[in-house]
Every structure is written in C-alpha cells, then in structure tokens.
Amino acid sequence: MATVRDILKALDVITSGRVITDSFGYGGANPFVVTKTSGIPGKAVTELPGLVWGDPDMPVKKVAVMMTLTESAIELAGATGIDCLIAHHPIAEGSNTGGVTARDYFNLYHLAV
C-alpha cells in the first residue's frame, strides 16, 4: 500500500523537485518556500510545498486533490474515507480550518495534508 511518503516523492517528480522532502528545506534553503503578505499584521502565509501535517509513513488508500483547502473539504474527506488531501493554494492555520487549530482538525479525521 502507498504511504504519504510515496505521494510526496511522486509530487516531487511531477513538480521537478519543488517539494520539501526533509527538514533542510524549511530553513530557507528551498527557493519555493516563500512568505506572502498583504501587509496586514497577522495575515502573512508561508507556502510550504510538501507535507504540512501528517505522518509520512501513514498508509494512504484515498487521495483528494483540490485548488483550495476549505472546512467543507476537510469534513467531506472525513466522511468519505479520504486519507490525504493535496491542495494547490497554501494552507494557513485557522484560515482554512474555520479558526480551529489545523493540528486538532486534521488529527480528528486522521488526515495527511
């Protein structure tokens, strides 16, 4: 059975190496890790192309791909047995999870994101 790590490897191949595959990429070494801001305090978001939340060794049976992660997508994933969510737009703590901490929301449905 495929794991989250397998999906990350596939995404890294598809994107020509843009996925963070180890902790080295979080320290500013990966040129695809960027912070965007509107200039409003507290509204900046850092794009992390890779695993935002979850266990890399978790088995994955179902994957959902979307443009933007929303609360309803998280709820639908939980109701339909999705294990892994892949979103194009960056995931912002609280913003994409209705104010609930992402850790608590994703763990509730056993999701890798």
Stretch 78-85: mean pLDDT: 96
pTM of the model: 0.83
- The answer to the question of residue 113 being in a domain is no
- The answer to the question of residue 61 being in a domain is yes
- The answer to the question of residue 39 being in a domain is yes
- The answer to the question of residue 68 being in a domain is yes
Domain limits for position 85: 4-108
- From the CA atom positions of the chain, what is the Rg in Å? 14
Q: Structurally, how many domains does the chain consist of?
A: 1
17 falls in which pLDDT band (50, 70, 90)?
Answer: confident
Tokens of 13: 């191949």
Residue 28: its pLDDT value, please?
60
- The answer to the question of residue 30 being in a domain is yes
Is residue 66 over pLDDT 80? yes
Compute the half-sphere exposure of residue 43: CA atoms within 13 Å on the CB side of its CA.
Answer: 5
For the purposes of burial, counting CB atoms within 10 Å of the CB of 79, is it exposed (0-12), middle (13-18) or buried (19 or more)?
exposed
